[in-house]
């Protein structure tokens, strides 16, 4: 099959300097455990004004950890978008939460903030947004 839109994988954007830096990080204990990861976490936390940040190996891991940090319990409601990879809801379902889907904006394919508020109840404990295709959700 011939692709009409070129695939923009990372391999065509990595130069020798980036490749060498990646090798050094991997030699230090992996992507999210070594001193480079600690420096990244500290810099990221400072940039966003947080006390702490934690680098994870994947979004799935981050979602699982967020459920633990938020202490999500069976029956808690979580609002998210149906326009996402299924693993977005998996950590919530594993904790036996009730998933409530807000609608999407047909132009951005992101969760439509106007459809979130009507879904919020006393049981709502979290809202998980997905920034679709690199386009940020309107968080204001």
Taking CA atoms, 81 is separated from 58, 106, 118, 133, in Å, by 19, 12, 14, 14
Q: Does 100 reside within a domain?
A: yes
> Could you list the residue range(s) of the whole structural domain that residue 44 is in?
14-48
Per-residue pLDDT reduced to its tens digit, 40-63: 999 999 999 999 999 998 889 999
Q: Does 9 reside within a domain?
A: no
pLDDT attached to residue 76: 98
Q: How many CB atoms are located within 10 Å of the residue 24 CB?
A: 11
Q: Does 121 reside within a domain?
A: yes
More confident residue, 11 or 102: 102
Q: Kindly state whether residues 102 and 77 are assigned to the same domain.
A: yes
Q: Does 65 reside within a domain?
A: yes
């Amino acid at each position: 099959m011939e692709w009409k839109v070129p695939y923009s994988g990372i391999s065509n954007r990595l130069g020798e300097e980036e490749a060498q830096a990646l090798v050094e990080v991997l030699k230090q204990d992996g992507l999210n455990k070594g001193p480079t990861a600690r420096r990244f976490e500290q810099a990221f936390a400072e940039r966003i004004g947080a006390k702490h940040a934690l680098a994870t190996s994947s979004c799935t891991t981050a979602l699982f950890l967020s459920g633990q940090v938020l202490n999500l319990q069976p029956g808690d409601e979580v609002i998210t978008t149906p326009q996402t990879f299924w693993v977005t809801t998996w950590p919530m379902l594993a904790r036996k939460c009730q998933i409530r889907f807000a609608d999407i904006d047909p132009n951005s394919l992101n969760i439509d903030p106007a459809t979130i508020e009507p879904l919020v109840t006393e049981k709502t404990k979290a809202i998980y947004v997905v920034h679709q295709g690199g386009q940020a959700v309107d968080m204001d």
